[in-house]
Amino acid sequence: MAALDHWHPVLPARQLSTKHPVGITLANQRIALFRSNQGTIGAVNDCCVHRRASLCRGRVVDGRLQCGYHGWLFSADGEAESPGTPKMRATTTSYDTVEKYGYVWLRARGSQAKLPQFNTDGYEYVCTLDQAVDAPLELVLDNFTEVEHTPTTHANFGYELSRMSEVQTHVESTDASVRVVNVGPQKRTPWIIQALAGLRSGDRFTDDWTTYFSPVYSVYDQFWNDPKTGIERRDRWRIYVFFNPLEPGRTQLVVFAYLRATTPARAAFIRATRPLLKRIVNVEVQCDVAMLESLADKNPSIEGMKLSRFDRVLGMQRERINRIYYGKPQACSANAASMAETV
């Protein structure tokens, strides 16, 4: 498989009208999205096969995308028609699309990749964030799959620096996934965050995630327990983070955040405080983005890095990115896997 073969969340569905196309980039490919007839979503290469105009600068006419240069019309399946030469036949590359979880998802035609399924029963939707980061996919994923940075990089969610040595981190993996479970003392946070996020400074904080590679995404379960009684606090987050490579050295984060709601009243409260909760999530994401964009060296290779016990997954993830996501030959994978063993 190649990167474009996997389903990726590429655009909030509400941004797509029946009048104007929207251009996106994924895996270094420019693609024009538009709402076609019957409300389905068309996706074609953003380069007109006639004389290479950008199709996302055109408009949607009767469910087809019209190029702004000479008016050729493109259907959702990539069939092109020239108003001036109607007997001529032309096609362009088109993509499978689906609208789910408030997003437009896209993959290459003919791919057998499965759409990621969210398991959010008992949870209330909080927010979706979409953020481009000037850093390569591997380094962005590295940041989101270790907790050693949370005391110093993050504002509120994470572990206490002076007690970082107490944090336990457990790794388990399958051929297609890497899971990490971290447990340790929650860092000091302002009372307003504690009240809104349902935690206390010094709580036993569990950050349990699994990373998958078709496409590359991690699913986080975050919750807190009273350190004395062991009783779990009120809130439990479930967060899906997708890592879309846009172009070399640039990655799009798409974050879907949910919060457990055990009663209808709690669900209503979450809905009422969504803007605040979204801000809390966004603050943490921006902390990561600022750190990633300021890295002194953005070479994605782990060779030469002095890795700690929290970095055991870095090599495993590169092996799975190469093998599952990019579909590279096994020889590369074996090399990366052996690097993972030595971490």
Which residues of this protein are in contact with Fe ion, per CB under 5 A? 288
Structure tokens at 62: 């009767």
- Residue 288 binding: pick among Fe ion, ligand FES, none (C-beta 5-8 Å cut-off by kind): Fe ion
Identify the residue among 30, 57, 59, 70 touching ligand FES (CB under 6 A).
70
DSSP 8-state assignment for residue 94: B
CB atoms near residue 26 (< 10 Å): 23
Backbone phi, then psi, for 206, in 5-degree steps?
Answer: -105, 125
Structure tokens at 294: 């300021």
CB atoms near residue 2 (< 10 Å): 12
Q: Does 53 bind ligand FES (CB under 6 A)?
A: yes
Q: Does 72 bind ligand FES (CB under 6 A)?
A: yes
Helix (H) or strand (E) holding 252: strand 250-260
- Residue 50 binding: pick among ligand FES, Fe ion, none (C-beta 5-8 Å cut-off by kind): ligand FES
In the complex, minimum distance from the CB of residue 82 to ligand FES, in angstroms, rounded to a whole number: 7
Q: Does 179 bind ligand FES (CB under 6 A)?
A: no
Identify the residue among 3, 22, 41, 48 touching ligand FES (CB under 6 A).
48
Query: Which one, 195 or 290, has the nearer CB to Fe ion?
Result: 290
DSSP-based three-state secondary structure for 317 = helix
Asked if 266 contacts 242 with a C-beta cutoff of 8 angstroms, the reply is no
Identify the residue among 51, 170, 188, 298 touching ligand FES (CB under 6 A).
51
Query: Which one, 65 or 257, has the nearer CB to ligand FES?
Result: 65
In the complex, minimum distance from the CB of residue 97 to ligand FES, in angstroms, rounded to a whole number: 21
Sign of the C-alpha dihedral, residues 51, 56, 57, 58?
Answer: positive
| Site residue total, ligand FES (CB under 6 A) | 9
Backbone phi, then psi, for 226, in 5-degree steps?
Answer: -60, 125
Structure tokens at 305: 């890095």
Identify the residue among 57, 63, 69, 337 touching ligand FES (CB under 6 A).
69
Binding stretches for ligand FES (CB under 6 A): 48, 50-51, 53, 67, 69-72
